[in-house]
Amino acid sequence: MTATQLATDTAQRCQVMGIINVTPDSFSDGGRFLDVDAAVRRGHELVRDGADILDVGGESTRPGAQRASEAEELARVVPVVEGLVRSGFPVSVDTMRASVARQAVAAGAVIVNDVSGGLADPEMLPFLAEADVTCVLMHWRAHSTRMDDFCYYDSVVDDVCTELRGRVEAALRAGVRAERIVLDPGLGFAKNATQSWELLASLARLRDLGFPILVGASRKRFLAEAASYGRRSPDVPADRDEASDAVAAIAAAEGAWGVRVHAVSGAAAASRVAARLRTSAVATGLVGARTGER
């Protein structure tokens, strides 16, 4: 399948972003795809399962993680981006470093996913403006070693919206075009479980910011409570896949631009079901034809 086919197919549908963590220490898949061939093979599997975009990251952001060096991150990410781009897949690079984003974009990445929303590296927003690529600006307050000290909000939804608006203004000031911006509430980043659930319950508020919204709930700790049933363990991240699929279905139905997931097949079905339902709702006059709004 070519990048063009993928893009056409996904025009009206929640994008399914399949995760490839090329790291030794990510919480759910650390160490599994460190080898370039294994990571590229994983990309092929994810696309076969229905991924629209492959998100390649070389630095773990789990709570408490130490930063990878720039050299390590580049060595992990760039060959994998090259391999996936050669296969014709749309690739996103998950990085907080402008230098890594630059080399990944030079290798063919079409999205820069910066979990710090441009805060970690002062060169990032100017680079995004210059490269004119789609960028995900996530809500973030501090690096992983310290982020649990920053879970304090007057109202998590109001504060995240205000801080995301601040990142948008900074990006626009740097010259990033508004149509290139995707926002992400940063579930689990400087948020406890209750706060992550509150944000997930407030997707309509996030959409009111006026930008496409990406939701990254997959396998995260806050899901453990809802994911622990039957033989599933609250402590095994992959046991949260069905709960992650349920979040993807809700996010797609609520009009999210995309969901970032480890196991893509459930999210791919959710995205298609939500799109089909929307078509039917428009046809029966339940929602407006132009916007798909309820």
CA distance 209 to 222: 24
Spatial neighbors of 248 by CB under 8 A, at least 6 apart, are 14, 16, 215, 217, 259, 261, 266, 267, 270, 271
Q: Compute the distance between CA of residue 45 and CA of residue 41 in angstroms, rounded to an integer.
A: 6
Task: Provide the minimum distance between the beta carbon of 97 and ligand PMM in the complex, in angstroms, as a whole number.
Answer: 14
Q: Is 214 in the site for ligand PMM (CB under 6 A)?
A: yes
Tell me if residue 86 is catalytic: no
**Does an H or E element contain 273, and which?**
helix 265-283
Amino acid at 290: R
CB of 109 to ligand PMM, least distance (A): 14
Q: Report the nearest approach of ligand PMM to the CB of residue 112 (Å).
A: 10
Tokens of 138: 């996530």
Interatomic CA distance for residues 136 and 292, integer angstroms = 23
Site for ligand PMM in 144-203 (CB under 6 A): 184, 186-187
Residues in 242-281 that interact with ligand PMM by CB under 6 A: 260
Q: In the complex with ligand PMM, which residue's Cβ is closer, 29 or 278? A: 29
Is the Cβ of residue 78 or residue 111 nearer to ligand PMM in the bound state? 111
Catalytic residue among 219, 220, 221, 240: 220
Helix count and strand count (H, E) for the chain: 11, 8
Contact 258, 215 (CB under 8 A): yes
Q: How far is the CB of 72 from ligand PMM (least distance, A)?
A: 16
Length of the chain: 294
Closer to ligand PMM by Cβ: residue 145 or 280: 145
Pairing of strands 53-57, 91-94: parallel
Residue closer to ligand PMM (CB basis): 27 or 278: 27
Binding-residue pattern over the window 88 to 107 for ligand PMM, x denoting contact by CB under 6 A: ------x-------------
x/- letters, 10..39, toward ligand PMM (CB under 6 A): ---------x-x----xxx-----------
- The answer to whether 105 and 133 have CB atoms below 8 angstroms apart is yes
Rounded-to-10 torsion of CA 78, 82, 83, 87:
150
Active site residue 272: no
Query: What's CA 63's distance to the chain center, in Å?
Result: 17
d(CA 90, CA 112): 11
Rounded Cα distance, 109 and 208, in Å? 28
Sketch the per residue contact string, 45 through 84, with ligand PMM: x for CB under 6 A, - otherwise. ------------x--xxx----------------------
Minimal distance in Å, beta carbon 137 to ligand PMM? Answer: 9
Name the residue nearer to ligand PMM (CB basis): 40 or 115: 115
Cα 79 to Cα 216: distance, rounded to the nearest angstrom: 25
Catalytic pick among 76, 191, 219, 260: 260
Tell me the site size for ligand PMM, rule CB under 6 A: 20
Q: Least separation, in Å, of the C-beta of 217 and ligand PMM?
A: 7
Query: Which residues contact ligand PMM by CB under 6 A?
Result: 19, 21, 26-28, 57, 60-62, 94, 113, 115, 136, 138, 184, 186-187, 214, 216, 260
Catalytic site residues? Answer: 220, 260
